[in-house]
Chain A
Amino acid sequence: MTRVGYPATPWRLRSLCSLRRSVFARVAFAASALLAASTAAAQPHIDGRVEIAFNRYYTYAELEAHLKSIAAAYPDLVELREIGRSGQGRALWVAIVNSPKTGPHTSKPAMWIDGNVHGNEVQSAEAVLYSLWYLTKAYGQVPALTDLLDRCSFYFMVSVNPDGREYWFEEANTPHSSRSNQRPVDNDRDGLFDEDPPDDLDGDGSITQMWIRDPDGRWERDRHDPRVFRRIRDDQRGEWTLLGSEGIDNDGDGRINEDGPGGDDMNRNWPSGWKPDYAQGGAGEYPFSNPETRAVGEFIMAHPNIAAGQSYHNAGGMILRGPGAQFRENFYPRSDARVYDEIARIGEDMLPYYRSMIIWRDLYTVHGGFVNWLAEGLGIISFTNELWTNARYFQRDVSSPDDERMWLFRDRLQFGLTFKDYTEFDHPQYGTVLVGGLNKWASRSTPTFMLEEECHRNFAFTMFHADHMPLLSFERVETARAGDGLWMVTVQVRNDRLIPSRTAVQAQRRIGVNDLLTCEPTGGGRVAASGSMNTWRDTRIDPVPFEPGRVQLPSGVPGRGGVIHRFYVEGQPGETVRLRYTGERTKDIETTVTLGD
């Protein structure tokens, strides 16, 4: 559904007036002016051209439909690009968001934002969709985001693993299953592939638990609440045994559900520090062995302007950064670690109950993870946010609520929708069993009524992260006479944001192309020498031995800091000299000075 109309407030009008856009935009503006009289008083809410509810979840087909509506409603801002196909043939979409009037998307620092590489971690896709939806409707209406989108571009990918997502929605699963994609893997090493998946015996769309009456059982069923099984004390006699998750022995090998669909964990399939399956479960056959990871990898490598990354997962309320393994700590030099920690520290405040963590130290060891490739392979400042944490159920506790409070939540806030009552089932191997329990929506995914807030806060965090991509300017340029026909041109380039124009790991590992500062006299003059200075007061330079007019800066311009460079130029008074600073992850800047005192 598409709607036109901007509630008018003075600051919105101001930013709208500055837009030079299509006829469509002008019509929209006229309509909004007409509506202005009847609009409620200014409120921090904006309407857009596409309405999407964020109190519910979407199948991949529905996500695709939303992507197409947004792209159609904001043709100037959004290019929807199919970057490849999943293993089962679903289109892999990247929404390129850019304001073309300030240049092509590749000319600006860009942020990559994806979700759902693990099929079951569903709300990560809604978080990306929300970000695309909010950013596009905010452009021209919200000055802070308009300014951001005027200087940066964004690559949004709602789902890196549509096959896994589709399988989670369409087939019976637990909150934890369908993490992988659907490439068949012989999990139990019997020469057969995916031959013993879980089975939805009670047909409720979830894989729940199976219980059997057993005089030697170590569990009892609560007399007052039959949903609850409780472990007995050693001196008591129980009557139930937990058989495991719902299923039958499809292949007659004596085991249940031991070889379900898929097996590759696509968040272990990236080239930096990649390890084979026996050292890192789920790694896949080789880096980029899956069509999904290869498509993403090729897109990212073709866009060296990407300066920030976010890859959403669930769950746990974490702002995670690398390294994934202790022995790779040396890919995070101190100056980069400071940038990570500062962004994450503010993120902890923006995202209640989220904690800033280092993957190997605070979670577990990961080899070949996605943000590790971004950070260690490409030197991109990147995080993985683990959406949703149990502390958010009651928004009080820092840890998980106890059983009693969880039942209160399920019964009184979710009205029982996340629980399937136990029913009897005649099992081919076990006889009569009870099937039921918490369904696939009972944990990990954000409860629907809290989803919009989760999406918004994380969106806001990524916009904060993006806002700290490098922003360069010539802060000060001066010329002075240095001798007969010889001039000093001194230039200070400033980065007004936290992320350096080249990260320290890029400088150390020689990743990407060095930044360049060039000085070109335009009237026949020549650069005789040049060198860097630590402060404007320095009287001596640290000379560049070769190509003094084309200075390479492997370390770029540091975050919240600057570089000072002095050129000695032979030329006539009044000659114009062009200064340019170019870098892969910055918008190129250029200025001219005239030789003279």
Chain B
Amino acid sequence: MRTSVLVASVVAFSLAAGASAQDSERLVEVSSIGKSRSGSTLQLLRLAHSEPDALGRAPDQRPALLIVAGLDGRYEIGPRVARSLVDRLVTNHADLLRERTVYIIPDLNPDNAAFFAREGTPKSDFGRTIVGYDADRDGRVNEDPADDLNADGLITMMRVKHPAPATGLTADLVPDPDDPRIMRRPEAAKGEAPTHAVLVEGLDADGDGRFNEDGPHGSAGGGVDLNMNFPALWPEHTDGSGPYSLSEPESLALVRWMLARDNIVCVLVFGPHDNLLNIPEAGRNAPDGREPLGIESDDKPYYEEIARVFKDATGMTGAPKGPDTAGSFHQWAYAHFGAYAFSTPVWVRPDLVKPKEADKPADAKDDSEKPAAEDGPEESPEDAIRREFQAAGAPQFVIDFMVATPAERAEMMASAQDRAPEEQRERMAAIMALPEELRAKVMAVAQGQEAQPAAPARTGGRPQGARPAQGAQAAASRARESDDAKWLKYSDEQRNREGFIDWQPFDHPQLGPVEIGGFVPGFRANPPESEWTRLADEQTAFAAALLDKLPDLTIDIHAVERLSTGLWRITVRGTNAGYFPTASAIARKARRLPPVVLDLRIEPDAVVAGQRIARWESIDGSGGTAYAEWTVAAPDGSTITLDVRSAALGNRTLTISLTEDQP
């Protein structure tokens, strides 16, 4: 599927950036992994020296790093940086591309970009695929998208003061007195009452009493979130997850292509999730008892080390964790495909980045290493709850409930009603047996759950975890500390107030007087142009560091010993000079690929000791070794062939001479 036109364009791009045409031609191959729903090419760039390496391996047989961006169309910076890595890696890290390969899929969701590029399409926080989906199950598809009522080219939010009962809306927020641009939940205990409903800008186009509940830009439907469409913990029956996992041509093409690339050992995703500053929870499994919810315990030290490398490369001290990982690409790449999989939004708010040495005042106390309170990789609130409840001997179902997301809790509570009465009684007794303080916490969470508004489509809110809140809603009690407040501060002080559209009155044909305003779509996902170079350099450094850490297996004949005439002992050694083990904990668990297989080509009867076909499940990096030993009956002076099979690290053949002048 090599596309010569595209090769030419990449070469031209590289030339413009100062690389030699010869290098690019040799190092970059452009092809595709398939087509999007609308038929656009899903581009694949392969960076590697094309001639066989020292072990005779072609590029697709060498340990590889895969970089994927653009699953979520809102994160435009992802594809931009992914593309700019091509030139930087080829120019500055060509040596790494001799025995390793980099695959880059810069934009997995080109239909989304094409949708917004159409004349007259307002900009919105909508990153899904472009496919109709009857989100409200009324037999009409995409009949009520969001609308750019004030014709400013943006879909923002509407706030409605004291909505009339006939609107179907309920006031549940108040403007924060400290910064009335920010809408937050009222504090009833301090005498506040809700005054406003907030919903996505638009009309109730189909007259069903709900606003923007079925169509692009709106509060539901209008496409599939590719990061909810992969089979790992796929969130079935959830808005945005698709009718079945891999229902989208884009996600299916990526999975099919990857399953034919057994050499991919590491994956880096540019998108809404961060698992580098927020290291995933280790050692906890889904209810089936096998599939990890985060990562395997034995992989955690490697994630911690890579996080350190990432922080060095980027200066990030914190990052929003992003939406739930259920159904996300990187969770699949880890838990099912068995690769080390990392994800970063590439750009975070500047207060989460450590200032460069040169920028710092000389006497400033260096506290920037301290992670931002709500984002940092210190003990997560979930871990704290787990520790506290475990210490009190709480049963697992209570702990699971306490650390669950609101959506999961709603599910648990709904399912609890279907349990047998005896079981319900037992569970209640277990809760009542908890220490009073913990019991109160459980009850508070359970009741808070019930009190939450049930119909997000009606208020214009979004399902938890599906997409970040679009409006200036803040659950934090003090606006100054909230995430929204920090974004506003950044917009006001560093971005000329361009990040937020101030609330402006608008006469809504159905709701009467409303105000329209809120964050500019994309403002919180994408940096200003002035940052592009810095971000590309950072991610190049990180990608190169990852590339350098891929496992690197050398195999040598360690010893050939003559025990007697025609009786020989052979020892073969494997050494991993890379950093990562030859197989991660998840790869060993997932068993998708065979381990390193050593197939001694000799009559089975001639093997006196040892397995004719031996296996190395995993060899640690940084010089870790493994041995295989056979005693064979074979004539002195004869030779035996050893076939080594490793999909990830390269097949090879060794010839063993049964003579004593071995090393």
Contacts and interface: CB of A to CB of B under 8 A. Distances in A.
Interface of A: 186, 189-191, 249, 251-254, 271-280, 285-288, 297, 301, 325, 327, 329-330, 332-334, 367, 376-377, 508-514, 516, 545-547, 552, 554
B291 A286 contact: no
B137 A513 contact: yes
Given A251-B613, A271-B236, A516-B139, 12 more contacts: A190-B615, A253-B611, A254-B604, A275-B288, A276-B232, A277-B590, A287-B245, A327-B287, A510-B237, A513-B137, A514-B139, A545-B168
Nearest to B599: A190
Interface of B: 134, 137-139, 168, 207-210, 231-232, 234, 236-237, 243-246, 255, 259, 286-291, 335-336, 411, 414-415, 418-419, 589-592, 594-595, 597, 599, 603-604, 611-613, 615, 645-647
A490 B501 CA distance: 50
Contacts of B245: 271, 274, 286-287
Pick from B414, B589, B597 the residue with the most CB of A within 10 Å. B597
Nearest to A326: B287
A180 B591 CA distance: 19
B613 A279 contact: no
Nearest to A584: B139
A83 to B, nearest CB: 17
Contacts of A279: 286, 288-291
B255 A286 contact: yes
A513 B138 contact: yes
Contact of B244 (A280, A288, A332): A288
Contact of A325 (B287, B604, B613): B287
Given A514-B138, A546-B208, A189 B594 contact: yes
B416 to A, nearest CB: 9
Given A275-B291, A545-B209, A546-B207, A288 B246 contact: yes
B209 A330 contact: no
A508 B232 CA distance: 23
Nearest to A379: B237
Contact of A253 (B244, B592, B613): B613
Contacts of B615: 189-190
B611 A254 contact: yes
B645 A367 contact: no
30 contacts: A186-B594, A189-B591, A189-B595, A190-B599, A190-B645, A251-B613, A252-B603, A252-B604, A253-B613, A254-B612, A271-B231, A271-B234, A271-B244, A276-B231, A276-B592, A277-B592, A286-B231, A286-B245, A287-B244, A297-B244, A301-B244, A325-B287, A327-B288, A329-B415, A508-B414, A512-B137, A516-B139, A546-B208, A547-B207, A554-B137
B237 A511 contact: yes
A408 B49 CA distance: 72
Contacts of B594: 186, 189-191
A278 B245 CA distance: 18
A10 to B, nearest CB: 46
Nearest to A513: B139
A286 B246 contact: yes
Contacts of A509: 236-237
B591 A330 contact: no
B207, B231, B414, B647, most chain A CB atoms within 10 A: B231
Contacts of B418: 329-330, 332-334
B288 A367 contact: yes
A554 to B, nearest CB: 7
Contacts of A301: 243-244
A190 B245 CA distance: 30
A253 B646 CA distance: 18
What is the interface of chain B mostly: helix, strand, loop, or mixed?
A: loop
A174 B597 CA distance: 30
Q: Decide if the interface of chain A is mainly helix, strand, loop or mixed.
A: loop
Given A274-B231, A329-B415, A330-B411, A546 B209 contact: yes
A376 B244 CA distance: 12
A451 to B, nearest CB: 36
A513 B290 CA distance: 35
A377 B245 CA distance: 11
B74 to A, nearest CB: 25
Nearest to A545: B209
A332 B415 CA distance: 10
Nearest to A515: B139
A508 to B, nearest CB: 8
A372 to B, nearest CB: 11
A436 to B, nearest CB: 26
Given A276-B291, A278-B589, A377 B236 contact: yes
The interface centre, meaning the residue of B237, B246, B290, B603 with most chain A CB atoms within 10 A of its CB, is B237
Nearest to A506: B137
A330 B417 CA distance: 9
A288 B248 CA distance: 13
Nearest to A554: B137
Contacts of B597: 189-191
Contacts of A285: 255, 259
A278 B296 CA distance: 14
A278 B591 contact: yes
Nearest to B414: A330
- Name the 8 nearest CB pairs between A and B, nearest first: A330-B415, A546-B209, A279-B290, A191-B645, A271-B244, A252-B604, A327-B287, A189-B594
B234 A276 contact: no
B208 A547 contact: yes
Contacts of B589: 278
A377 B246 contact: no
A513 B136 CA distance: 8
A339 B130 CA distance: 39
A252 B255 contact: no
Interface centre among A332, A546, A554 (most CB of B within 10 A): A546
A508 B238 CA distance: 12
A508 B208 CA distance: 20
A297 B592 CA distance: 25
Contacts of B590: 276-278
Nearest to B590: A278
Given A191-B647, A367-B288, A514-B137, A274 B234 contact: yes
Contacts of B237: 509-511
B136 to A, nearest CB: 8
* Best-surrounded residue of A278, A333, A512 (most CB of chain B within 10 A): A278
Nearest to A502: B137
Nearest to A333: B418
A301 B234 CA distance: 18
B457 to A, nearest CB: 11
A329 B604 CA distance: 51
A288 B234 CA distance: 14
B612 A377 contact: no
Contacts of B231: 271, 274, 276, 286-287
Contacts of B411: 330
Contacts of A512: 137
A186 B208 CA distance: 55
A274 B232 CA distance: 9
A344 to B, nearest CB: 18
Contacts of B415: 329-330
A191 B596 CA distance: 9
A516 B139 CA distance: 9
Contacts of B287: 325, 327
A76 B335 CA distance: 51
Contacts of B603: 252
A537 to B, nearest CB: 29
A277 B597 CA distance: 21
A525 B595 CA distance: 75
Contacts of A288: 244, 246
Given A190-B599, A330-B415, A547-B208, A552 B138 contact: yes
Nearest to A509: B237
Contacts of B599: 190-191
Contacts of A367: 288
A468 to B, nearest CB: 23
A330, A332, A334, A377 — which one has the most chain B CB atoms within 10 A of its CB?
A: A330
